[in-house]
Chains A and B, each alone.
Chain A
Amino acid sequence: NAGVTQTPKFQVLKTGQSMTLQCAQDMNHNSMYWYRQDPGMGLRLIYYSASEGTTDKGEVPNGYNVSRLNKREFSLRLESAAPSQTSVYFCASSPAGHYGYTFGSGTRLTVV
């Protein structure tokens, strides 16, 4: 099925551990995004990539790094996880223009 695929779906980390969240889209979209969703706070943009080879900080980039590996893939890395990074993470992609986002199904991350 065409769309945005995120892996893993669930993950538990210990404080200080690192991990990479993977995201891939097969719709030939130019732009890709990483959001976190927390209760009562809606969606907050962590990083985005307007096109292959570029990345920019969003609203809450601290503690995260990203890599736009190619047009299809956009990964999010936590170098040293903290309990404050417990959240649900969503990857999204969009074509050029104002056509809205396509979201992945999310990664539920718990840091203990």
Chain B
Amino acid sequence: AQSVTQLDSQVPVFEEAPVELRCNYSSSVSVYLFWYVQYPNQGLQLLLKYLSGSTLVESINGFEAEFNKSQTSFHLRKPSVHISDTAEYFCAVSERSQFYFGTGTSLTVIP
């Protein structure tokens, strides 16, 4: 079965600094990759996804993630974070119609 690893459970970063949230998965057999964001006391919202094509995908609020098949990774990056980016971020992998979530990374942006 697929497993998804988010090595960093908590990431504090100063406002306007860059950030990278790491995600690795166990199998590279025909997977689809997602990042979800959860703001406090809310449900999860889809941030971005990789289905096929260009390995670099972007969200509307400045995040990007790159699919690296050889390293089985899908790291999330933003060049300059804002206070409003404080949230929990979940990496997810879809394989053979099954969905697997990582345990989440709590991003805290410090003013």
Contacts and interface: CB of A to CB of B under 8 A. Distances in A.
A14 to B, nearest CB: 24
Interface in A74-99: 90, 92, 98-99
Interface stretch (B20-28, B43-51, B69-77): B43-51
Nearest to A45: B99
Nearest to B6: A42
Interface string B90-109: 10101001010111100000
A43 interface: yes
Interface string A19-62: 00000000000000100000011110100001000000000000
Nearest to A31: B97
Contacts of A100: 34, 46, 49, 92, 94
Contact of B103 (A40, A102, A105): A40
Contacts of B103: 40-42
Interface in B44-78: 44-46, 49, 51
Nearest to B103: A42
A98 B51 contact: yes
A64 B77 CA distance: 38
Interface string B30-46: 00101010000111111
A42 B101 contact: yes
A92 B90 CA distance: 15
Given A40-B9, A42-B102, A101 B90 contact: no
Given A40-B103, A42-B104, A106 B43 contact: yes
B50 to A, nearest CB: 10
Interface of A: 4, 33, 40-43, 45, 50, 90, 92, 98-106
Given A4-B43, A40-B103, A105-B42, 19 more contacts: A33-B99, A40-B9, A41-B103, A42-B101, A42-B103, A42-B104, A43-B44, A43-B101, A90-B43, A92-B44, A99-B49, A100-B46, A100-B49, A101-B44, A101-B99, A103-B36, A103-B44, A103-B45, A106-B41
